[in-house]
Amino acid sequence: MERLQKILSQAGVASRRASEQLMREGRVTVNGATIRELGTKADPASDDIRVDGRRIALPERYRYLLLNKPRGYVTTRSDPQRRPTVIDLLVGIREYVYPVGRLDFDTEGLLILTNDGELAARLTHPRHGVARVYEAEVLGVPDAHDLDRLARGVTVEGYRMTATQVHLLPGRRDRHATVQITIQEGRNRQVRNMLEAIGHPVEHLRRVAIGPIRDMRLKPGRWRDLTEAEVTSLRKMSLQTPRTLHRGGDPRHNAGPHRSHAAPRGRHGSGVRTRSK
């Protein structure tokens, strides 16, 4: 017997937190009875468990997808406003995968989708501090003081937000600059809000890395399966905490607040050969 929200997560229906919300909304039934109590347990092998009337089953195999999300797509399985969703881009995928975390409607870049609820829950839990790297084209050119503020932390709507690393990339044009910023939290619109707070609003935002996962060859709107090595690296990272990461992880992601006016070497990584889908 397992907790119902854990079963839903393992079945790839949603993350544990989202599964709990489905239960609160009365959308989950077990053997015909609507279940709202979060501590309820069930047996997926013998109980009839349904979400919105659809019977769920544990997946026969897990899928781990990497999508380069374009602008103009919602990071969800369905949208009440009927806007395009990232699921619309996964042509040929039959498994019930869902996004791990989210990217704003106007943000592009790397996004992982999977039906492995356990891994998804670990990757999104703030306790594990999985690094996410963004490149933001901003209005104006941040100076040393601005970059220090990001590294030391800025307060937005009562929350203290800090960047693990901040770099001003070369190639400025007109009155614009590109800032590479690494965060280990994941608050809504965090990068946009942080840069707005120092007076340099974002005009274009792209996520270029999720932990060890990078792929500069993957074109916007395209996806591929993660390799076994990539999945293994994500699993190892998801089992660590910021403290163990600091001791034995990638120093580029855990060196504490850092500022540089030059792009870090190898910032684009070597990339992985892609298969267009």
Catalytic residues: 104
Do residues 160 and 134 touch, judged by C-beta distance below 8 A? no
The span from the CA of 246 to the CA of 251, in Å, is 7
Phi-psi region of 140 (alpha: psi -120 to 50; beta: other; left: phi over 0): left
Q: Which two tokens stand for residue 82?
A: 């009927």
- Which of 167, 152, 133 is closest to 264 using CA atoms? 167
The span from the CA of 62 to the CA of 79, in Å, is 24
Dihedrals φ, ψ of 250, to 5°? -70, 115
The two most distant CA atoms of the chain are separated, in Å, by 65
